[in-house]
Amino acid sequence: MRAIALAKMLINHGKVHILTNSNYCNRLLAIYGNYPNLTVHPVPNLSPSNLGKYYKQLLDEYQITCLIVDTFPRGIVGELVGVLDTITMPKIMLVRDLNPRYVHQYNLGRFMQDHYDLCIPIELVAFNQNLAIEHPITICSAHEILETASAQKILGVHNPERKTIFICPSGTLPDQQLFQDLYTELRELLPAYNVHLIDYFPAMQLYSAVDVVIGSGGYNTVGECLAMNLPLLGVPFLRLYDRQALRLQRYKHRGIHLIENPLDILPKIQEILHNSAPKLEPVNFHNGAKEVLDRLWHSPFPIDCHQIKPESDI
């Protein structure tokens, strides 16, 4: 999601290549595959050493002039170790909160100092002292959010006067099953509301038609709700590196609710929708992707970042 958000802005400056292991890769290819200056590459199933060689081959083949790495300084499975030292182009790290065990195990703070030209925290990060960007990076900017009537048409809303609940399934198959079961239950228990289990990408485009979101505590879900000023009932899932409960707690003053017991969801929905104020249109918010690019353009590099120009590959 963050890669697409940045790519949609960077393609105005040159060719962009995204290398991703996202579960949404096929959808990314279907939606963004024909964007000019944008190429999406699925990460192949290779050993860490061969994966690192594949990355290097890709960088050389397309004559990439700037490398942006998101979240994992050493790569997804450590495949960037040994590769970064061979790369002479500017190397930018987007730093997200990570499990302290992982941070300490690999001394990630020191690793980033040694291997990256610029580290940009995209949320508060204990192991990096650089100032975090102010707004979350979201796959959609404000002008890409559909008008309410258009979003309701896609959702098949027959009673637009009713409040709408959006369930965003994500994560592993058991995680998604939890949301499926919740959808079935809420449809029965809340007949006076529009309840939707979303299978639309990117879901954020439809948020103008939504009054409350039920989802996980991942960066994208939380960030999209913060941007759209939507209440989120977030169920934190255990992840090897991410700390979803911490992220949900961090924004409790902004309508982000940590749901540790799914039984608490129903009364919380009723409380939120009973007290919710009318929504404003048109939607307006700042996309953190622009803040990232502003830092990229204006930061002094050991290697001049102004190599990134039209017709460069990123």
Q: Are residues 137 and 5 in contact, defined by beta-carbon separation less than 8 angstroms?
A: yes
**Residues 128, 133, 137, CA angle at the centre, nearest 5°?**
115
**What's the rounded Cα separation, in Å, for the pair 265 and 269?**
6
| pLDDT at residue 304 is higher than 50 | no
pLDDT, position 185: 96
CB 90, CB 295: distance < 8 Å: no
User: What pLDDT score does 172 carry?
Assistant: 86
Looking at domain 2-137+288-313, which of 3.40.50, 1.10.3470, 1.10.238, 3.30.750 is its CATH number?
3.40.50
Residues sharing a CB contact under 8 Å with residue 91, sequence separation 6 or more, in sequence order: 67, 69, 84, 115, 116, 117, 118
How confident is the model over 220-277, as pLDDT tens digits?
999 999 999 999 999 999 999 999 999 999 999 999 999 999 899 999 999 998 887 7
**Prediction pTM value:** 0.91
Q: How far apart are CA 68 and CA 298, in angstroms?
A: 16
pLDDT tens track for 99-149: 999 999 999 999 999 999 999 999 999 898 899 999 999 999 999 999 999
Q: By C-alpha distance, which of 200, 240, 202, 208 is closest to 220?
A: 202
- 110 vs 103: CA distance, rounded Å: 10
pLDDT for 314 beyond 70: no
* For residue 310, pLDDT beyond 50: no
As a whole number, the mean pLDDT across the chain is: 90
Compute the distance between CA of residue 262 and CA of residue 182 in angstroms, rounded to an integer.
8
Q: Does 313 have pLDDT greater than 60?
A: no
Decide whether 2-137+288-313 matches 142-275 in CATH topology.
yes
Work out the pLDDT band at 297, boundaries 50, 70, 90.
confident
CATH topology for 142-275 is: Rossmann fold (3.40.50)
Angle at Cα 75 formed by Cα 173 and Cα 102, nearest 5°?
75
Which pLDDT score, from 0 to 100, does residue 97 have?
A: 95
pLDDT (tens digit, 9 = 90+) per residue, 16-46? 999 998 877 888 888 887 888 999 999 999 9
Domain extent listing, the chain: 2-137+288-313, 142-275
Q: Which two tokens stand for residue 131?
A: 């100032």
Unique residue bearing structure tokens 């502003």: 294
- Please report, for the chain, how many H helices and E strands are present, in that order: 11, 11
**pLDDT tens digits, residue range 158-186?**
899 999 999 999 888 889 999 999 999 99
How far apart, in Å, are the Cα atoms of 42 and each of 76, 79, 83, 237? 13, 15, 19, 25
Residue 22's pLDDT is 83
Contacts of 277 (CB under 8 A, 6+ apart): none
Residue 234 has φ and ψ, to the nearest 5°, of -100, 125
